[in-house]
Amino acid sequence: MEFLPIFLNISGRPCLVVGGGEVAARKIEMLCGAGARVRVVSPALCSGVSQQVEQGSVEYHAGTFSESDLEGCELVIAATDDAAVNRQVAELARSRRIPVNVVDDPELGSFIVPSIIDRSPVVAAVSTGGRSPVLARLVRARLETLIPAAYGRLADLAARWRERVQARFSNSAERKAFWEQVLGGAVAEMVFSGQEELAEKALEKALSGDEAAIARTGAVYLVGAGPGDPDLLTFRALRLMQQADVVVYDRLVSPQVMSLVRRDAELVYVGKERDKHTLPQEQINDLLVKLAKQGKRVVRLKGGDPFVFGRGGEEIETLSAEGVPFQVVPGITAAAGCAAYSGIPLTHRDFSQTLNLVTGHLKDGTTNLNWPALAQPNQTTVFYMGLKGLPIICAELIRHGLPEQTPIALVQKGTTPQQKVFIGTLGTMPALVEGATIKPPTLIIVGEVVRLHDKLAWFDPEAGVGQPRNPSAEQTAEAREASRAGD
């Protein structure tokens, strides 16, 4: 280990920054964030540092560096673009045994500034010893995805209960086991989801005599898996998927997303295909309750978003009635994902000022919708689960006033390598689909915004997920013109 990792308490302490450019501005912001009293010495300042001076957060001495600037300082950062000045600062600071950092020249200084993951009071630091700051930032970025933003609140909870836990468990090994259970289990997830009152009650119950209460506390997490591309998962969704004991999933969750689930988790497939349910909804509700009451962490993984035609509301009604802890993790709904990957803006100031999200079939299996409201101009209507009812959808929209030439798109397996987009009109789409092999899941988009598909489509499944399709120069120019007035 070339450097000793330490954390300095510089709150209220005088610190010096030599330099007034953009690099210095970042160091000043970091020092101010730690509560330091910052003095800046530089002949000139960039706009960022000038703003900090104007706000009164730093003291500014205009001019070049001199040894007297070190008087009273407890930490120094040299951040000029003059190597000779940086060397002078470093030598004088080290002669006075003042910790000094020289930006981009770690050998001159006595300490280096790492890449920081800030979840105050929890702080993690990553360093490559100055060899590759970019690599350190990449590692930090990876850790950022793994450490919930609410870790600081979890640390505060632990601090509030520390003395009581010490009083309850005199044995250090017992205290350690208790905190490992708390900080890595259901109580932590309660804090992460903003349910701190429930977390406090769980701790109270455990300390009042039922030591195994936390271990027996199960929970259900309704997680939106998005439309298919695993890169569209949220950080929280991925974290819960990788720590679940049981994953209850349906057919709309893509294999690519399922591959990210914890490998030793129990997988329960519940189907949910139209008119062909592996488990009826009521049995799914009961299953979630049963598994949670066994003390298991259950992820109910749903395609898209749990609250957009995902029956998430029905499931948490049962969980709430049974007193089972739960949280809902939103996902990118199919309308947003499929439209974006198809180059079809859902809203556009020239074409559509209203957006409707509609299910293609109701609970009783019909397609009895409010057709007069859906057949209005200057709006976009997205039909979920509408493949079977497509002929009725087109016919009813025409019958209630939309022109037969109204554009319509059918997106098959959107955001995945199997994505296909079928473009037609209300008058032609039924025949087009009848002559093609359509594989669910599908999404239907109706409205003038569909006309932008040819100009704005960027996703080419044949080139791999996330690869642009390289439109022609003419298409690019047309797309810029078409979208100039857009959002």
Confidence of residue 186 (pLDDT cuts 50, 70, 90): confident
- Could you confirm whether 272 is annotated as catalytic? yes
The CA distance from 329 to 320, in Å, is 16
Is the predicted pLDDT of residue 486 greater than 60, yes or no? no
Q: What is the mean pLDDT of the chain?
A: 87
Annotated binding site for S-adenosyl-L-methionine: 227, 303-305, 308, 333-334, 385, 414
Question: What is the per-residue pLDDT across 118-133, written as a single tens digit (0 to 9) for each?
Answer: 998 999 999 988 888 8
Is the predicted pLDDT of residue 394 greater than 90, yes or no? yes
Average pLDDT over residues 105-115: 91
* Helix 151-168 vs helix 196-207: crossing angle, to nearest 10: 20
Catalytic residue among 69, 229, 272, 302: 272
Is the predicted pLDDT of residue 213 greater than 70, yes or no? no
Whole-structure pTM value: 0.72
Average pLDDT over residues 442-449: 96
Provide the percentage of residues in the chain whose pLDDT is more than 70: 90
pLDDT of residue 175: 86
- The region of weakest confidence among 6-15, 115-124, 209-218, 394-403 is 209-218
More confident residue, 241 or 362: 241
Confidence of residue 273 (pLDDT cuts 50, 70, 90): low
Annotated binding site for NAD(+): 22-23, 43-44
More confident residue, 461 or 241: 241
Confidence of residue 277 (pLDDT cuts 50, 70, 90): low
Annotated binding site: 22-23, 43-44, 227, 303-305, 308, 333-334, 385, 414
The domains of the chain, with CATH numbers, are 14-113 (3.40.50.720), 151-207 (no CATH), 219-329 (3.40.1010.10), 335-483 (3.30.950.10)
Confidence of residue 365 (pLDDT cuts 50, 70, 90): low
Catalytic residue among 27, 69, 250, 455: 250
Confidence of residue 182 (pLDDT cuts 50, 70, 90): confident
pLDDT of residue 216: 62
pLDDT of residue 465: 43
